[in-house]
Chain A
């Protein structure tokens, strides 16, 4: 039984996942991810894509809120920037997806950094309201879209969704084809962000979150790193938005309202603040909760025929109830619950 850490080289000491059970778990997850689409039908692929995109957005928000301590209610707005800039490039210039997605993400990073400018002076609730303003300003620009030549909604030509000239449909139906893109982007995001917090910039972010004055005293350039956090976070928001645009083929601002921002905050709170895997759990939970309830109701509709008339209200209530239960019983989110499970088995039978 493992009773301590005995690294003999610096390389082993610095490894992201030093223990074999961790590596085994990652390998198993990867295998599951690769095998899943071959067995899933389009409904499940649709859910998986939705979760993957939401997870990228949630990881982005977690960089800002969970790791750097800068509360943001502007995630929906930043995702809209990514979606519409990718959409406009594809629809107006006919640019392919593999160009629009990175350019849109970079552009969103720039916009995010711009709206992050007040973060030097503002903290906590004040900053939250400033980012809320960003959300509202972006929505305003989009609904008065005549400024940018956007109608009510923006259709993205299917043929722009190609990878280096190969159309997405070449490998099967859109849900199956996009699975590889969304999950691929998610894996890259996870690797990047997990390593980010082992780097100089990432540690500066965490220092700012824990105590910004102390961080400044030890030499962290607050303004620079706060802006960098906004830019990095918005980059992933833009990535999620741009992927949504290409996956759905049509976008309207209705998808990126303040409700979306709140939903993403709920994801990272339920999943676990300051955790990459927590963001994924949270995204999965929030996406699957309504699907789970409606499937459950369908199963029960044979036993309780009236359940369908109550279901809409149950769904509304369940969302609120889930957040309250998490805040009471596990404020650190699903990631902490998972850690408890691991600890239980690791320490068994001598838990105390």
Chain B
């Protein structure tokens, strides 16, 4: 009988779980997911009224978790800070968020749940693959969507009317980086054209800027750049770097997250390669310096969000005050904070105008509010009905003595 009992134990457990699931089907009031509402320790009166629901998916355990975690902390911190300061128009913000492990099907499931059951009014996304997979539904559901993906595919409101980009697109970032590289090549007294190579994350995120970058390079007399995908979860990039060395590249553009980028930089050092590495957005941050140490010296980065700017102080001080641990990735934390603040500014304007909080109204508010000032963290972000690429320019930084130092003024891709 013992064996049978065990089997029934398992079965009973399964049934209990199934029942629990069925029970969870109904939206349980007041039990939002990663809810952060109610952090009302400030001196301002606690926000009351119906909470404004914001959906978000984060990568805390997946392929891009190293930067996904500080980004998510920045977003959560902004909501907490906002609620501590009276919320929006006296109403608290409620963040409904969950980890999706960088998996497209999980992202679709969570998005549907937050939009249809929780009735979130805006959404903060993460990866390129999942944002692109969701773009059709985002338009159908009319949910203003700010993603951490700056894929150029998402910038045209004629195709994706509800997607907003708060940083230069990956294509623009790549072109800006190439512009810098061409100048640097000349400044060093070289003649002729340099050779470019890409070392990129093997995903839609990594491949997103390659075609536009190659077109720009070719138009400027550079030989077609070498494309080298960096395998997910690689622990050694020597074969890829050897390929780049054999090609004779002078500049390598890293479209990847910090951990693999740091690995590439370290491997290159041990191989004795004399190559200028240029990181786009997601590896140009403090994590890279932390992981690559002294080997990161001299790496150049295209950073759209400047943590040293005046506007970033509020975020960083709030984090210090609350003891939020984001692994020292200031720029990524500030990036998450800023992206969320822009999304919320759309809600704020809609409420200020006395309109109902619908996706369409928030979208119109974002498109008509003019330049959104981020306190110098980015150039002012401007959306219009025909252009959702809110920022067009950024500064190039270089790692000097273990810190990112701005080396150029704002450069625009066009």
A interface residues (Cβ-Cβ under 8 A, vs B): 41-44, 46-47, 50, 143, 152-153, 155, 158, 174-175, 248-250, 252, 254-255, 288, 290-292, 294-299, 301-302, 308, 311-313, 315-316, 325, 329-330, 334, 337, 340-341, 344
Contact = CB atoms under 8 A, between A and B. Distances in A.
B6 interface: yes
B20 A294 contact: no
Contacts of A334: 14
A254 B24 contact: no
Contacts of A308: 33-34, 97-98
A155 B20 CA distance: 37
B14 A312 contact: no
B21 A295 contact: yes
Interface stretch (B131-139, B247-255, B261-269): B131-139
A252 B129 contact: yes
Contact of B133 (A252, A312, A325, A340): A252
B33 A158 contact: no
Given A295-B21, A301-B35, A341 B11 contact: yes
Given A312-B99, A341-B11, A295 B140 contact: no
Interface stretch (B108-116, B341-349, B352-360, B371-379): B108-116
B207 interface: yes
A312 B60 contact: yes
A249 B31 contact: no
For the complex of A and B, the 3 pairs showing the least CB-CB separation, nearest first, are A295-B24, A312-B99, A42-B116
A340 B109 CA distance: 33
Contacts of A312: 60-61, 99, 101
B338 to A, nearest CB: 23
A311 B98 contact: yes
A252 B101 contact: no
Contacts of A252: 104, 129, 132-133, 204
A290 B140 CA distance: 26
Nearest to B135: A250
Given A46-B112, A174-B140, A315 B31 contact: no
B126 to A, nearest CB: 13
Q: Is the interface of A mostly helix, strand, loop or mixed?
A: helix
B32 A298 contact: yes
Nearest to A351: B4
A316 B101 CA distance: 9
Nearest to A44: B25
Contacts of A313: 61
B24 A298 contact: yes
B116 A41 contact: yes
Contacts of B135: 250
A50 B109 contact: yes
B21 A291 contact: yes
Q: Which of B11, B32, B153, B203 has the most CB of A within 10 A?
A: B11
Contact of B24 (A50, A299, A340): A299
Contacts of A337: 7, 10-11, 14
Max chain B Cβ within 10 angstroms of own Cβ: one of A50, A249, A254: A254
Interface string B11-25: 100100100110111
A295 B28 CA distance: 10
Contact of A298 (B28, B202, B208): B28
B106 interface: yes
Interface in B286-330: none
A270 to B, nearest CB: 11
Contact of B136 (A158, A302, A311): A158
B105 interface: yes
B4 to A, nearest CB: 7
A174 B229 CA distance: 36
15 contacts: A42-B112, A42-B116, A46-B109, A143-B202, A153-B129, A175-B112, A252-B204, A255-B133, A290-B109, A292-B20, A301-B31, A315-B99, A325-B10, A329-B7, A330-B7
Interface string B183-208: 00000000000000000001110011
A212 B208 CA distance: 49
B30 interface: yes
Given A50-B109, A152-B208, A250 B132 contact: yes
A290 B106 contact: yes
Contacts of B401: none
B117 interface: yes
Given A47-B109, A153-B129, A302-B31, A255 B104 contact: yes
A311 B112 CA distance: 19
B3 to A, nearest CB: 9
B17 A294 contact: no
Nearest to B59: A312
A295 B109 CA distance: 12
Nearest to A145: B207
Given A312-B60, A312-B101, A46 B108 contact: yes
Interface in B58-99: 60-61, 97-99
Given A301-B33, A315-B61, 14 more contacts: A41-B116, A152-B132, A153-B133, A248-B108, A249-B136, A250-B133, A252-B133, A297-B33, A298-B24, A301-B31, A308-B97, A311-B99, A312-B99, A329-B7
A340 B10 CA distance: 12
A154 B135 CA distance: 12
A121 to B, nearest CB: 30
A99 B202 CA distance: 33
> In the complex, which of the residues A152, A158, A291, A337 has the most CB atoms of chain B within 10 Å of its own CB atom?
A152
